[in-house]
Amino acid sequence: MNAPPAAASTAAPVAVLGECVADAFVDPGSSGTDGLRLEVRAGGGPANTAAALARLGTPTRFLGRLSDDVFGRLFRGHLEESGVGLDSVVQAPEPSTLAVADLADDGSAAYSFHARGTADWQWTPTELAAAVDGPVSCLHTGSLALVRPPGGPAVEALLAGVRGRATVSVDPNVRPLLVDPAVYRERLPHWCALADVLRLSDEDLAHLRPGEGPERAAGYFHDHGTRLVVLTLGAEGVFASLDGKPLHVSSPRVEVVDTVGAGDSFMAGFLHALHVAGALGGRLDHLRPAEVEAAMAYGVRVAAAVCAVRGADPPWAADLPA
């Protein structure tokens, strides 16, 4: 179960829709009186997932709106070097989104966002229709793209339209500093009706289903239409429920540098394993619990590798620790 997939299948590519964010890390050696030194890296949950998927060997298309500013050029270079297809990217006139990460001693990150009027949220139905033209086995999206106006409703409509030919995967990735969690809670039943796969972190779960444990929350998501629920629990591993059958895998031990991009990279490893198994492309009708468990085990290995380095720098398949 713990052996990694050797290579991606010949199935249609996975498409990842969402934002690219410039993650700025404060140099711990700088002080507020002398000015802060920032190290800026390409980030954003969906972009992190796309880069990790491509590095693992899954044919991947990124559906995003990229500015031509200095950060937009950083994003393009990072995604291209990772092997992500950018043919469906929209050249956007708006500026890029910036997030400043404040790292705690345990490696966890708190963010301040600079996102008003930025390129990522301005999707139009026409742009989205062009972006998903062509074969796709799975459309993965989530994070702020689903809830930030004006593009959020257009992204929801796209998910409904693409379900006829692709598996739909949703990761809400709640950002309470930018969007009230109540907005996510209000839309969550609708997302469950559209999604074949729903992934949440333990922090997401606390915002969206406060006071509920994994199994009870999974039952709620199943009742609203999602077949496969995946809950990442940090050091406690990963819980999943396939049509109500609970599964769990443990997280490997790792010396954490920071946790930036860990959940995004887990999802890349998880989807990569399902892609290799030939499970993507429809409603997961033939997916077996053993395949889900194997995908979970592979995903936590990818996430652990990301936690061991600074920032969202996912491993290439050949470099993934055994």
140-189 pLDDT, tens per residue? 998 898 999 999 999 999 999 999 999 999 999 999 988 999 999 999 99
Query: Percentage of the chain surpassing pLDDT 90?
Result: 78
pLDDT-based confidence at residue 9 (cuts at 50, 70, 90): very low
Query: Percentage of the chain surpassing pLDDT 70?
Result: 94
A 10 A CB-CB count for 265 gives 30
3-state secondary structure of 79: helix
The single-letter code of the amino acid at 32 is G
| Residue of 195, 141, 197 lying closest to 173 (CA atoms) | 141
137 to 49, 221, 322: CA distances (angstroms) = 16, 23, 28
| Residue of 258, 257, 272 lying closest to 302 (CA atoms) | 272
Report the b/e string of 85-109 with b at 16+ CB within 10 A.
beebbbebeebbbbbbbebeeebbb
| pLDDT over threshold 70, residue 32 | no
Range ranked top by mean pLDDT from 5-9, 93-97, 114-118: 93-97
| Residue of 204, 114, 190, 106 lying closest to 146 (CA atoms) | 190
- The overall average pLDDT reported for the chain is 92
Instruction: Give me the sign of the Cα torsion angle 73, 320, 172, 12.
Output: positive
Q: What does the pLDDT average to over 223-235? A: 96
Least confident of 9-18, 41-50, 133-142, 301-310: 9-18
Q: Are 320 and 305 in contact (CB under 8 A)?
A: yes
Q: What does the pLDDT average to over 214-237? A: 96
pLDDT-based confidence at residue 39 (cuts at 50, 70, 90): confident
| pLDDT over threshold 80, residue 303 | yes
- Helix (H) / strand (E) element for 43: namely strand 38-43
pLDDT-based confidence at residue 5 (cuts at 50, 70, 90): low
Quick: pLDDT tens for 81-90. Answer: 999 999 999 9
The single-letter code of the amino acid at 73 is R
Q: Which residue has the tokens 């860990």?
A: 262
Q: Taking the model in full, what pTM does it have? A: 0.92
Residue 92: beta bridge partners? Answer: 67
| Residue of 58, 46, 63, 45 lying closest to 132 (CA atoms) | 63
Least confident of 68-72, 106-110, 165-169, 298-302: 106-110
| pLDDT over threshold 80, residue 105 | no
Q: What does the pLDDT average to over 26-44? A: 79
